[in-house]
Amino acid sequence: MVFFFFAAVAVIFALVVILHRNPVVGALSLVASFFALAVMYVLLDAPFLAALQVIVYAGAIMVLFLFVIMLLNLQHAEEPPTRPIQQFLGYAGSAFFGLALVYYLVKYTVLQLPPGPFLSDARQIGVALFEAYIFPFEMVSILLLAAIVGALLLSGRPGVIPSAARNPLPAGDPSPSARLGMTQGSRQ
Amino acid sequence: MIPTSWFLVLSAVLFTIGVCGFLTRKNGITMFMCVELMVNAVNLTFLAYARQFHQLHGLIFVFFVMAIAAAEAAVGLAIFISLFHHRETIDVDEANLMRW
């Protein structure tokens, strides 16, 4: 059955994400898991959001992750082992949390009444987005603009962006090029 | 027609895997991917309830969650790039100061 196959794919690749030591493998497994989730969205009668999931998540966000992993050259970086007590508490706590979640989901079986046919096409979503949800929509556009500006400011090398507000200089540090040279020297 | 509770159980399992990875890993980018996993589990819950109650609001919320996850990923990865430039590592145990 389609549901069980893709649910198994999503869960297995999610486990690969948290168990594999190489972040590139983790990112690619997460892409596979997102594709399986897109199939779930189709099964939930939301094909437009399935397309968004593939394009935005698997296409854009995960490419950003892969790009940063390869930019920082982390494929060969050795991740130090987690402390055993932290590992035990992490696994035990999340297992308890998951079991409690599933227990309450199964206990309250009110949701097992059959849902009726429900088709959500892109037109309905667009109308709702531009009528009832126009204010949150505009807020999200402002938030994305702020995220772009913030990402540019944060990821720029010191000295490349001539901004006094970003990084107040210690006294006696003359020029942006000197700052760049200082930073590179301290990195070696 | 697949029951809604199956999707909810799958969502709970994925969310738990995300929590587990976030608590046990130390690589900052892997922890970030675990956050994305949790966000997607919640999206699945939104869509399951949207179909259950024949409401469009759940779909709109998934739309907004995707936009905000994109913004969050951009800013978070920029922070990790900045951290890597200063510390040569993205091990989150090394980043225990709010200044450098």
DSSP secondary structure letters along A126-139: HHHHHHTTHHHHHH
Asked if B30 and A26 come within 8 Å (Cβ–Cβ), the reply is: yes
Residues A70 and A35 in one domain: yes
Q: Is A171 inside a domain boundary?
A: no
pLDDT below 50 — which residues of chain B? none
Total domain count for chain B? 1
Q: Is A66 inside a domain boundary?
A: yes
Chain A positions touching B27 (Cβ under 8 A) are 23, 74, 77, 79
Q: Is B32 inside a domain boundary?
A: yes
- Band (pLDDT 50/70/90 cuts) for residue A186 is very low
Q: Is A170 inside a domain boundary?
A: no
Q: Is B30 inside a domain boundary?
A: yes
Cβ neighbour number for residue A43 with a 10 Å cutoff: 20
In percent, the amount of chain A with pLDDT more than 70 equals 74
Asked if A17 and B5 come within 8 Å (Cβ–Cβ), the reply is: no
Residues A42 and A96 in one domain: yes
pLDDT at site A78: 67
Q: Is B54 inside a domain boundary?
A: yes
Residues A24 and A38 in one domain: yes
Q: Is A169 inside a domain boundary?
A: no
Residues A102 and A180 in one domain: no
Residues A125 and A147 in one domain: no
Residues A123 and A154 in one domain: no
Give how far B80 is from chain A: nearest CA, Å: 8
Give how far A127 is from chain B: nearest CA, Å: 11
CA angle (B14, B65, B36) in 5-degree steps: 40
Q: Length of chain B in residues, anyone?
A: 100
Q: Is B55 inside a domain boundary?
A: yes
Give how far A64 is from chain B: nearest CA, Å: 8
C-alpha to C-alpha distance for B36 and B30, rounded to whole angstroms = 10
Q: Is A168 inside a domain boundary?
A: no
**DSSP 3-state assignment of B27?**
strand
Segment A158-174, tens digit of pLDDT: 655 555 455 555 554 44
C-alpha to C-alpha distance for B48 and B14, rounded to whole angstroms = 14
Of A40, A90, A136, the CB nearest to B23: A90
Give how far A90 is from chain B: nearest CA, Å: 5
| Structural domain containing residue B67 | 4-87
Residues A150 and A71 in one domain: no
Residues A24 and A78 in one domain: yes
Chain A positions touching B63 (Cβ under 8 A) are 49, 52, 125, 129
- Give the A:B interface size as CB pairs under 8 Å: 233
Residues A105 and A147 in one domain: no
C-alpha to C-alpha distance for A123 and B60, rounded to whole angstroms = 12
Q: What is the ipTM of this complex?
A: 0.90
The chain B residue lying nearest A55, using CA atoms, is B66
Residues A27 and A76 in one domain: yes
Residues A46 and A56 in one domain: yes
Q: Judge if pTM exceeds 0.90.
A: no
Residue with the larger pLDDT of the pair A104 and A32: A32
Total domain count for chain A? 2
Q: What average pLDDT does the segment A59-74 reach?
A: 87
Q: pLDDT at residue A175 above 50?
A: no
Residues A142 and A87 in one domain: no
Q: Is B93 inside a domain boundary?
A: no
Candidates A91, A145, A105; CA nearest to B7 is: A105
pLDDT at site A174: 47
| Structural domain containing residue A117 | 2-132
Of A7, A53, A151, the CB nearest to B78: A151
Q: What is the CATH number of the domain that holds B38?
A: 1.10.287.3510
